[in-house]
Amino acid sequence: MYSDRYLYFRGMDSPSQTEWLWAGIFAVDVRTGRETRANVQHHSAGSPSMLLFGGSPDGTRVALLDRWETPGEPPPDYEGMSREEYYAASQRHALARKERARYTFTVASFDQSPAVEILTRAPAPKRHLVLGGPSNIDAPVQWSPDGRLLALNLGTVEEDLEMTAVRVFETRTWTEVACFTQGALHGTASWGPDSDRFLMQSWSAKTGRIAMWIQHLDGSRQQVEIIPPPNSVNIRPVWAVGMADNAHLLTMRAPRKRATLMRTSLATGTHENLMTWPGLLENPAVVAQLPPGAWT
């Protein structure tokens, strides 16, 4: 069961150039063109960038991560303040907003049954809960190909320290079955075809990506060293965008304004070109989780 039949998107209405209205999460059956809307509202209305989501392979459900804030004081009036007063007031306001921040994990269906709120959390006192990855192309909410599990980037707390983690939930009871710290999901098709592993990475805000590995649900990991980090001396960087199968990654390269999607061997690092098209890519393309035989 793969998500090669359904496309999911967030609908936004824009009555003006400065206003965005929430229109919902939709699933489109690419074979029939049928469009359905999930029965869900979200807290961060007016802030579409705060909502992250991923749809199930069978087109019946969608999982949402929503960052929002409880009501609080409006921003201070900075008019007439000195530079020092402005800085102090803005720092107080930023701290107050951080204390009001919440993160909600919700599962909604497309059959109009009520959405189910799985958990709501506040971030740790000194750090924001990290939901995304280092690239806006990385998908932080991903269902396993068989639909049994859901992996999402949702921070965890260990010894009062908030850290990035991938938390795995069983999708029938929504109980957490695993938590892997020190990294986040990498790419948009991170899961392996057997739903027993996924691609992860860790990174530094100063130096870029530190490491990439395949995380197995049994706790073991396989380092991936065949893809040079984006900040390396490699003048033609290769991006990993997911797993093609247990022995290959899906990768991309875009030299000279031509983008190429490739299948790359984990054992040897050799590339097999799958398709090429003209265009300059500032970020890797988004790919779907497809059956292994599709990537040939």
Model confidence over 174-222: pLDDT tens digits? 999 999 988 889 888 999 999 999 999 887 666 666 789 999 999 999 9
- What pLDDT score was predicted for residue 25? 85
pLDDT at residue 138, rounded to an integer: 74
Q: Are 61 and 148 in contact (CB under 8 A)?
A: no
Whether the predicted pLDDT of 16 surpasses 60: no
C-beta separation of 108 from 62 below 8 A: yes
Q: Model's pTM, two decimal places?
A: 0.82
C-alpha to C-alpha distances, 223 to 162, 198, 227, 250, nearest whole angstrom: 24, 12, 11, 16
Q: What is the pLDDT of residue 65?
A: 85
Q: What integer is the mean pLDDT of 232-248?
A: 78
